[in-house]
């Protein structure tokens, strides 16, 4: 269990920067603002204000949808529940609202709370980043710290255009919210690429320590690779060679695949699952969210999946009986794949039996014990039933390897892609492919490796799979569902905003 001392609530990796044994007082309000934000303490306080937004602050008054991942009703749920990898069904005993089913069945509306939460969270992040950048530049702060703030802002804008397309764009907070202009997806894409390419080399090479969970050079190039990977979706122009070059830059960071060896001390039997445990291993993890129970984020994903009695018997907490894995997704895994150990189907401790077949996810709803469950984020350390202390990997090197494979196939060089796909498969206990990989091979492997980590919706769109029917959605979705709507509340606040096609203004 992690024992890091939280000295700045909401920060991720600035714990080391703020921890010390000198208890003498420093009175910062005696500094002029321009001088203070140029000092290490001032610079760190501004960067911490940005990083605090990524996991979202812990609150005891409910789940606010704030943060990238860890809690619920926010960015993670919007992007994951709309894919084929997971859903929280409405239960026929009355539990769970139908928001998640609407996401999974591609029936969401502009008024959805989860969509509004995501929009508000991302613009809060951008406001914080804009403020930090302005103050850092005014105080002539270390260029690497300004670069770090700019890369974080580019990351937030990347998430925005990925989900919403054309969105309000601003880099100066001195603009009224109802006057912020709406820029095209392509314009903001160009800005993101410029910010990342101009600032990545200014960032630290260091991994771990005080840079745990921060945008170092390798994390910045990973975001750039992601933006290039989806460039054709965003702009109509593919950037496979550029994506491959960005991935190669990440490879210079000395990352490797974490061991998949058997481990009797692991609850799931393999070292592989250390990637989703208490502290993200730095051999493979490029960027992660620091979490500790009841303090910073929660990582609710295992507790949210298990049925109550099973949770109490197996893990000593009452499960929420929420998220399930659709049968079609689960059945694609090879039985020899160590990654299949994260799923639970059939009879379980506590007299529970998870049936693979789920008759309904909205009305009348699923039986209480229907649906395959997932404990990829097996709770680490102490827990209170409100989550766990598992850190959350935003980016891993396995993702980079599979991106390099995809780019090579799309560039007409599948032979160069094969070693990358084979490396991921063999770490999972599977044989190498019999032939050079196809795009379908890579799409499947990305699903096997990266499920529940926030990548699936984006992958499905890029591989033209997102609109296809599934076991709970029998008809093909209309093309406009590739974008989420601009929330009703945002349009009410800024009537000049143009709604995405297919949705009511």
Report the candidate in 397, 46, 49, 393 with the shortest Cα–Cα distance to residue 221: 397
pLDDT at residue 383 in the model: 66
pLDDT score recorded for residue 57: 55
- Residue 43 has a pLDDT of 95
- pLDDT score, position 35: 81
Yes or no: say if 364 and 94 are a contact pair by the CB < 8 Å rule: no
Closest CA to 46 of 156, 145, 190: 145
Q: Count of residues for the chain? A: 505
Identify whether the C-beta of residue 87 lies closer than 8 Å to the C-beta of residue 73. no
SS3 content of the chain, % helix, strand, coil (to 5): 45, 10, 50
Neighbours of 24 (CB within 10 A): 5
- Return the pLDDT at 32: 63
Residues 6+ apart with CB under 8 A from 298: 58, 70, 71, 291, 386, 387, 388
Cut 0.85: pTM above it: yes
Q: How far apart are CA 8 and CA 54, in angstroms?
A: 14
Cβ–Cβ < 8 Å for 280, 393: yes
Q: Quote the pLDDT of residue 378.
A: 95
Per-residue pLDDT tens, the chain, 505 aa: give them.
Answer: 443 322 233 333 333 332 333 333 444 455 566 788 989 999 999 999 999 999 875 454 445 688 999 989 999 999 999 999 999 999 999 999 999 999 999 999 999 999 999 999 999 999 999 999 999 999 999 999 999 999 999 999 999 999 999 999 999 999 998 899 999 999 999 999 999 999 999 999 999 999 999 999 999 999 999 999 999 999 999 999 999 999 999 999 999 999 999 999 999 999 999 999 999 999 999 999 998 877 777 799 999 999 999 999 988 888 999 999 999 999 999 999 999 999 999 999 999 999 999 999 999 999 999 999 999 999 997 666 678 899 999 999 999 999 999 999 999 999 999 999 999 999 999 999 999 999 999 999 999 999 999 999 999 999 999 999 999 999 999 999 999 999 999 999 999 999 999 999 8
**Assigned fold of 255-464:** 1.25.40
Topology of the domain comprising 33-62+109-237? 1.25.40
Which of the 8 DSSP states describes residue 352?
E
- Give the integer Cα–Cα distance in Å for 160 and 45: 25
33-62+109-237 shares its CATH topology with 255-464: yes
Q: ∠ at Cα 466 (461, 472), nearest 5°?
A: 160
340: its two tokens = 């299949």
Q: What is the pLDDT of residue 315?
A: 86
Burial of 496 per CB tally in 10 Å (0-12, 13-18, 19+):
exposed
Q: Domain boundaries in the chain?
A: 33-62+109-237, 255-464
Is it true that the peptide bond before 364 is cis, omega within 30 degrees of 0? yes
> Residue 276 carries which DSSP code?
G
Residue 377 has what pLDDT? Answer: 96
């Amino acid at each position: 269990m992690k024992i890091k001392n939280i000295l700045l609530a909401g920060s991720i990796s600035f714990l080391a920067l703020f921890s010390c044994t000198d208890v003498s007082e420093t009175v910062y309000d005696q500094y002029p603002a321009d001088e203070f934000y140029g000092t290490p303490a001032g610079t760190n306080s501004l960067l911490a204000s940005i990083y605090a937004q990524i996991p979202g602050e812990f609150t005891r008054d409910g789940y606010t949808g704030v943060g990238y991942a860890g809690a619920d009703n926010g960015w993670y749920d919007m992007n994951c529940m709309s894919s084929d990898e997971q859903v929280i069904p409405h239960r026929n005993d009355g539990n769970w609202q139908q928001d998640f089913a609407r996401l999974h069945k591609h029936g969401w509306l502009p008024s959805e709370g989860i969509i509004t939460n995501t929009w508000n969270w991302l613009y809060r992040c951008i406001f914080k980043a804009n403020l930090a950048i302005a103050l850092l530049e005014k105080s002539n702060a270390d260029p690497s710290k300004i670069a770090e703030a700019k890369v974080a802002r580019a990351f937030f804008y990347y998430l925005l255009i990925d989900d919403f397309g054309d969105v309000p764009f601003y880099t100066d907070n001195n603009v009224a919210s109802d006057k912020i202009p709406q820029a095209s997806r392509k314009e903001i894409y160009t800005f993101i690429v410029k910010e990342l390419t101009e600032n990545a080399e200014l960032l630290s090479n260091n991994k771990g320590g005080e840079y745990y969970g921060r945008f170092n050079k390798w994390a910045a190039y990973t975001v750039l690779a992601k933006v290039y990977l989806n460039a054709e979706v965003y702009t109509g122009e593919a950037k496979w060679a550029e994506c491959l070059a960005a991935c190669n830059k990440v490879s210079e960071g000395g990352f490797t695949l974490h061991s998949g060896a058997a481990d009797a001390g692991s609850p799931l039997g393999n070292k592989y699952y250390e990637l989703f445990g208490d502290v993200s291993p730095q051999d493979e993890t490029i960027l992660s969210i620091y979490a500790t129970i009841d303090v910073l984020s929660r990582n609710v994903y295992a507790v949210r999946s298990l049925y109550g009695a099973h949770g109490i018997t197996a893990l000593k907490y009452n499960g929420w009986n929420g998220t399930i894995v659709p049968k079609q997704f689960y059945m694609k895994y090879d039985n020899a794949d160590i990654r299949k150990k994260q799923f639970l189907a059939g009879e379980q401790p506590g007299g529970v039996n998870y049936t693979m077949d789920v008759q309904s996810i909205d009305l009348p709803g699923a039986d209480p014990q229907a649906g395959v469950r997932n404990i990829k984020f097996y709770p680490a350390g102490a827990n209170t039933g409100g989550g766990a202390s598992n850190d959350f990997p935003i980016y891993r090197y396995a993702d980079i390897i599979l991106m390099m494979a995809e780019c090579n196939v799309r560039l007409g060089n599948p032979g160069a892609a094969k070693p990358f796909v084979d490396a991921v498969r063999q770490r999972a206990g599977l044989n190498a492919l019999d032939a050079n990989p196809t795009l379908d091979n890579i799409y499947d492997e990305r699903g096997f490796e990266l499920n529940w980590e926030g990548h699936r919706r984006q992958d499905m769109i890029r591989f033209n799979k997102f609109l296809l029917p599934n076991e709970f959605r029998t008809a093909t979705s209309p093309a406009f569902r590739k974008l989420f709507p601009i929330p009703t509340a945002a349009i009410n606040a800024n009537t000049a905003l143009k709604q995405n096609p297919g949705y009511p203004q």
